[in-house]
Structure 1
């Protein structure tokens, strides 16, 4: 089915938000974006509605539409749901198809290559691909869709990080460890490691949010 103009505009804005081109807190000007994208205000407003539904932007009465700034409660909730989705993948890993398992290893290698090149934003993108691959081991289209939406929201927190390296570097080795546990068939240990991993990641983000709000 062909995508509507509003859906294509939403795709463009989503890509800019996820890539950091429209950081959290940025006001989305109908006039400027309309000129830039060559679309009407009505089309933009429909695109905004789609992104509001995805929790990527918010409408503030009498002020306009802004890229969402996550609150600590948002991060806690995102990680709670992530834990459920990724754990479902780990529990299904033994029966997962080879291409799904290969995606986990590929994301680990991509993150390590990006780190070697000091490209810490790409390390972050590879990390998200790794966690999406973990959830995808469940073989559920609904889990995949839910995970995509959660990770798009999580990028809002990543872009607010003053030091991407500080956040992502400690988890490179842990990604490798998790992938190795799955390869070895140590699924119970992998699940325990994943639980601790996500708890630590959530805590680190919340600590940084507290520091930057002072």
Structure 2
């Protein structure tokens, strides 16, 4: 699917990528004048891009402070995991044997996660793990779901940033991602679905626990 993106759309996508990459953190201000210079764009274009991010649940206007990267609430996190279960489990349930390209994309995400863990770059570990789960949803072959899930993982990234100990929070997931990948490669769909269901239960529990310390 080819899209002719406006400049505002492109800027919104880049800012979303900065959120997914852990470069924009909850509570950070998005200052219009700085963005105008950074993107060589008009104020109206920047406002339009920020409005798009607001519609995606990634930014919030704060009176007397301007637009800031959002902090999510507990119930919003619960809702994100409702979405994750719906999309990721359905993607696995309807997947057949992985095509080479699908397998390669998943393997690349896991390899990137592994390298980030070796560097002890825990922020990158979280990012690449989310990319792996984006590839899971990609098994449905739906550009609309792909776009929607990109917004979901950007919101999840804002949740994970709240972990007081990123290493402890991110350490368990690489092996579990690899387990799910191996099951999918071997076409063990039911076992992969069960592993993913347990994964999401544990991830939700730990994500909600972050609010107990905030």
Shared fold (TM-score, shorter chain, > 0.5): yes
Task: Spell out, residue by residue over 1:124-156, the C-alpha distance to the aligned partner (whole angstroms, 9 max, x if none).
Answer: 122011111111112222221221111111111
What SS does the corresponding residue of 1:165 show, helix, strand or coil?
Answer: helix
Q: Cα distance, 1:95 vs. partner?
A: 4.7
Q: Cα distance, 1:96 vs. partner?
A: 4.3
Counterpart in the other structure of 2:41? 39
Q: Is the 8 A contact 1:96 1:139 kept in 2?
A: no
After the TM superposition, which of the residue ranges 6-15 and 124-133 deviates more from structure 2?
6-15
Counterpart in the other structure of 2:155? 153
Q: TM-score, normalised by structure 1?
A: 0.89
Q: Per the alignment, do residues 103 and 19 of structure 1 end up closer, same or farther by CA in structure 2, a change over 3 Å counting?
A: closer
* 1:122 aligned to which of 115, 121, 124: 124
Alignment RMSD (CA, Å): 2.0
More helix by share: 1
Distance, in Å, in 1 between the alignment partners of 2:108 and 2:37 is: 40
* 2:85 aligned to which of 68, 83, 86: 83
* Mapping 1:21-60, distance limit 5 Å: 21-60=23-62
Q: Is the 8 A contact 2:116 2:125 kept in 1?
A: yes
Distance, in Å, in 1 between the alignment partners of 2:40 and 2:143 is: 34
- Alignment of 1:3 with 2:5, yes or no, is yes
Q: Is the 8 A contact 2:22 2:127 kept in 1?
A: no
After the TM superposition, which of the residue ranges 173-182 and 54-63 deviates more from structure 2?
54-63
Q: Per the alignment, do residues 91 and 23 of structure 1 end up closer, same or farther by CA in structure 2, a change over 3 Å counting?
A: same
- Alignment of 1:132 with 2:134, yes or no, is yes
Aligned length: 212
Q: Specify every segment of 5 or more residues in structure 1 that has no aligned partner in the other structure, as ranges.
A: none
Q: Per the alignment, do residues 91 and 126 of structure 1 end up closer, same or farther by CA in structure 2, a change over 3 Å counting?
A: same
Q: Cα distance, 1:93 vs. partner?
A: 2.2
Q: Per the alignment, do residues 37 and 79 of structure 1 end up closer, same or farther by CA in structure 2, a change over 3 Å counting?
A: same
Q: Specify every segment of 5 or more residues in structure 2 that has no aligned partner in the other structure, as ranges.
A: none
Q: TM-score, normalised by structure 2?
A: 0.89
Counterpart in the other structure of 1:20? 22
